[in-house]
Amino acid sequence: MSEARYQEASVDLAGIVQMLGDSLYSRPEVAVRELIQNASDAILRRRIELGDEAFSPAIALSADPGAGTITVEDNGAGLTDAEIETHLARIGAGATRGLRAASGDLGLIGKFGLGFLTAYMIGRKVELFTTPAAAPGRGFHFVSDNGLRYIVTETAPGPVGARVVVHLNDACRRFAEPDRLEDVVAGYCRLMTTPIRVQGGPPINLEPPWRAAEPGEPELRRRRRGFAFAERLEPTFEPLCVIAVDAPAAQGLLWLHDASTYGGADNRWLQVYVRGMMVARNKRELLPAWAGFVSGAVESAELSPTTSREDVKADAAFEACRAAVQEALIAGLRAVAEREPETWRTILRRHNQALLGAAIADPRLFEALRGAVTAPTTEGDLTLPEIARRSPDGLVLAPGDPGAVDVLVARALGRPAIYAERYGAAAMARAFAEAEGLEVVEIGSDAGRRALFRPERPSSPEAEARLRALFSAEDLTVAFARFEPEELSCVALIDQEQALKSFYESDEAERRIGAGVLQLARSLTEKIAPEAPTRLVLNLAAPLIAQLADAATPPPRAAAAAAALRAHARLATGGGAVGAEGHRGAIGALNAALGALLTEGEAHG
């Protein structure tokens, strides 16, 4: 039997590089970012390891479209030949990792030792020219075409630091265009503190407002700085106002969009930076769901980038950052409402619907917004206090598909009815009503109808009998109520429960619906006392009805008048209320009643 032997696993470096490109990093341009990150860390190494504070750190990039190269140059610590072997040619053992382990987290960006390897994602050959700060009299040249085999030769020393030249492969030659390179660099690195130049131009760095803020500086200057920053970063909208984020978990700036957005449209946009490096292009989850009209940028040393540094981990630091952003946004909106009335008015005009949703989502915003946001009503957009003032008996909600009679009543009432189907309107109205101790009347609902048409008995049994005699019909149940407006003598309401009873106990239901469902449905409907599905509700407040109720002897044309009112009520409601003969039959009944009124009038001269 052969002995067990230890074997060493092999590494397919080309496979790893491909995996980096295919699976770990979403875009090849991250290789440029990684090289800049290495340069930044090298500068920190020079300060930390070598205690050299006297130099002016700098990173410079250049692109040569003709040669198809990009060059990244820094005046950091550089690398000795031993360090080249240890850190560069040994995959996964980046210098930063050891330094971080020895010195703690001192602002180093790199961590995983993969950064330099990414150069092979975009380059067919990579060269490094370096003069180490630890040995400034020596220079080294490293060259490799695949990272697995390399040549290191000693050369004449140059300036302390490193210069990486990436000879781009065909697929990535576009990075050799200077404008393209500058866009990539600025996109990822503009908030870094080390000056970064592209093609010898001025530094692309941008000092974010949260680092530039000075104690006691005028509010106007702070705001202007915020606007300028937002305009530089924001890809789509102009900023309307700016809100600072200043918490232990995160610092940053938020801004509202100066554009009208509708309802729940989600245009959240938030860039996330860790130590000046952009790690997430749009981490909208850090903004509350209702903040569809907000953009921003935040920086946090606590967040943990993923391995690819293209996102951040959803850990406790992430949650703390989210909480800080939300708190800042809410406090900021309240501050704008209090101190910037013009801006606040513009915000309300632009984002009223989104703010309706926001107010429902957070009680503090509800308090700030309850008097300011408007709701769409049958009388135009009105604030909730104004709606309440015009609706002393309760806020009226009109559903998106109200019955005809409900619309008739709502308009006749002269009260604004809130369009409940519009985004956030119904929920905000209910929240406001609860806070103010007001009723909510939802027209078309049973509860709404009970609130609008308050049941009441006629003044005497004789009056009731007279009215029933005049208004009854085979397919109607006569009921009595008192409601506004008094000009409306009666309404025909379809009783939903009766309609369901009628359906589920019909032959049609037996044809369409399974036995099990029918059995269950009928167990409820059999408890409903049978009545006609249409209820004719007579308004005891109406002068006409009162006249008919009080007359001991019915007036000559009472029957015709009652028939006309009944037919009109059926037609106003429509649907099943029109009766078995349909709309034409109901119109015919109305005409017949009016004709009888005319005839009887003629007969009496």
Partner 1 sequence: MAEVDDGIWDWVHRYIWDLRLSDDPERRRMAEALIDFTSAAGQKEAAVVEAAYPELLAFVRGEQNAWAEVFVRHWRLQAYVHTPADPRALTVEALDLVQFAHGEAARDCPQRVCAIDDLNALYGQIDAVGYAEERLNLVSELLETTPTHFGCFMCLAVGKRDILVDLGRPEEAIECWRASLERSELLAATVAEADHYLEYWAWGLGEAHLRAGRPDEALAVLETCQAPKAYHRFTIDALSAEALLALGRRDAALARFKTALEVEDDALDATQAARLIAAMRAAGLVEGAEARPLAERLLDVAALAGGRGRVREAFDAAREAFELAETSGAEALMRRALAAMAERLPELRAPVGADAAHAEAAARMGG
Binding site for partner 1 (CB under 8 A): 262-266, 357, 360, 399-401, 420-427, 446, 496-497, 500, 503-504, 509, 512-517, 519-521, 523-525
Residue 298 to residue 270: CA distance in whole angstroms: 7
Beta carbon nearer to partner 1, 265 or 301: 265
CB 564 within 8 Å of CB 489: no
Distances in whole angstroms, Cα of residue 15 to Cα of each of 143, 173, 267, 580: 20, 22, 39, 79
Residue 239 to residue 232: CA distance in whole angstroms: 10
Give least dist CB 333 to partner 1, A: 19
Beta carbon nearer to partner 1, 203 or 264: 264
Q: In the Cβ-directed half-sphere of 88, how many Cα atoms lie within 13 Å?
A: 31
Beta carbon nearer to partner 1, 239 or 357: 357
Give least dist CB 455 to partner 1, A: 19
Give least dist CB 253 to partner 1, A: 26
Beta carbon nearer to partner 1, 158 or 399: 399
**In this structure, how many other beta carbons lie within 10 angstroms of the beta carbon of residue 170?**
7
List, in order, residues 6 or more apart from 69 with CB less than 8 Å away: 63, 165, 166, 167, 168, 176
Structure-token match 């230890």, residue found: 6
Token duo for residue 92: 């996964």
Map residue 250 onto helix, strand or coil: strand
Beta carbon nearer to partner 1, 400 or 595: 400
Beta carbon nearer to partner 1, 28 or 357: 357
Residue 554 to residue 549: CA distance in whole angstroms: 9
Nearest to 408 by CA among 471, 479, 489: 489
Note the residue count of the chain: 605
Give least dist CB 508 to partner 1, A: 9
Give least dist CB 377 to partner 1, A: 14
Angle formed at CA 372 by CA 371 and CA 375, multiple of 5 degrees: 95
Beta carbon nearer to partner 1, 528 or 592: 528
Alpha carbon 316 to its chain's center: 22
Residue 208 to residue 276: CA distance in whole angstroms: 9
Give least dist CB 291 to partner 1, A: 14
Beta carbon nearer to partner 1, 301 or 509: 509
Give least dist CB 265 to partner 1, A: 5
Give least dist CB 358 to partner 1, A: 11
